[in-house]
Amino acid sequence: MEHKGRTALVTGSAKGLGKRTALQLAEQGCNIVINYYESEIEAHQVKHQIEQLGVKAITVQADIATTDGVEKLAVEAERWAGGIDILVNNAGPFVRQRRLFSEYDEATIMRMVHGNLLGVMLLDHRLLPRMRERKWGRIIHFGYGHAGEARAWPHRAVYAAAKTGLVSFTKSLAVEEAPFGITVNLIGPGDIRGVNKERSIAEVEDEFDTESPIGRPGTGEDVARVILFLCETKSTFLTGNVIDVTGGFDPIRANIKGMC
């Protein structure tokens, strides 16, 4: 197995893209730190699934949109594993309802920025020292499709600002940590919704999605398989990248077109 004996922490891994990623890393031999905020039952179900694969797992309740939550997660993860080899920053608050920036309340703005940018930076900062000691590490950030272009995204102003800030941070951190054997990349998932976040490619091959240029909906496997490739031992020359996993779909242009 590619990652036998290594430990991965996947934030927001009780459900959705985080769950699919955690399961596929476990299949490669990774022990998994499962993080959740409210989905305790689902987190324990994922833990059971992972243990059935012959590796170890632990669940940690922590809200990465708060400083205390980040510290709790880092402390419990390192206490359990002695250090994290692979960090997948999947979790991040998102408001599905479209709204103007002027319609946001202050608390929501703060939570969105902290959960999608500052919390990610703080968790990286806490876990980097052990990666440096081991001279090996993989950090994956989550953005959205075309985040690297930093275009206007009306009705998503706060979320987009946090994620495009994360693009810059990803590139800077990648350069700083390269001498220590640590790679840092950002994945930009497309509009993958509902149960498809946990499904395999095979499960949707015969389904048709009118918005998708390739004809089928995206899945959790589409995203997870890219993450697994970036985490491979030989993927040392791939760092500081923003990789869109969208099937060619552009959610920003689609939304702007709908406003005209």
Q: What is the pLDDT of residues 88-137, one digit of tens each?
A: 999 999 988 899 999 999 999 999 999 999 999 999 999 999 999 999 99
Task: List, as one string, the DSSP characters of 210-258.
Answer: TT-TTSS---HHHHHHHHHHHHSTTGGG--S-EEEESTT--HHHHHHHH
How many structural domains does the chain have?
1
Residue 132 belongs to domain spanning: 7-259
Rg (CA), the chain: 18
Q: Tell whether 216 is covered by a domain.
A: yes
Q: In the beta sheet, which residues pair with residue 245?
A: 189
pLDDT at position 250 is 82
Q: In the beta sheet, which residues pair with residue 137?
A: 182
Q: Tell whether 1 is covered by a domain.
A: no
Res. 255: pLDDT tops 80: no
Q: Tell whether 160 is covered by a domain.
A: yes
pLDDT at position 214 is 86
Res. 252: pLDDT tops 80: no
- How confident is the model over 77-89, as pLDDT tens digits? 999 999 999 999 9
Rounded CA-CA distance 45/208 in Å is 30
Region 135-160: what's the mean pLDDT?
Answer: 93
CATH number of 249's domain: 3.40.50.720
Rounded CA-CA distance 224/18 in Å is 9
Per the CB < 8 A criterion, the answer to whether 127 and 134 are in contact is no
- How confident is the model over 168-223, as pLDDT tens digits? 999 999 999 999 999 999 999 998 999 999 999 999 998 988 888 888 999 999 99
Res. 253: pLDDT tops 70: no
pLDDT at position 254 is 58
What is the helix, strand, coil percentage profile of the chain, to 5?
A: 50, 15, 35
Rounded CA-CA distance 146/52 in Å is 37
Region 49-68: what's the mean pLDDT?
Answer: 98
Res. 259: pLDDT tops 80: no
pLDDT at position 212 is 86
Res. 258: pLDDT tops 60: no
Q: Tell whether 19 is covered by a domain.
A: yes
Region 14-27: what's the mean pLDDT?
Answer: 98
Rounded CA-CA distance 83/135 in Å is 12
pLDDT top residue among 90 and 3:
90
Q: Tell whether 222 is covered by a domain.
A: yes
In sequence order, which ranges of 65-198 are alpha helices (DSSP H)? 67-81, 106-113, 119-134, 157-177
pLDDT at position 260 is 41
What are 119's two structure tokens?
A: 């919390």
Rounded CA-CA distance 230/244 in Å is 13
pLDDT at position 249 is 83
Q: What is the mean pLDDT of the chain?
A: 94
Per the CB < 8 A criterion, the answer to whether 166 and 109 are in contact is no
Q: Tell whether 2 is covered by a domain.
A: no
Q: What is the pTM of this model?
A: 0.94
Segment (H or E) for 50: helix 40-51
Residues 6+ apart with CB under 8 A from 158: 95, 101, 104, 108, 109, 112, 113
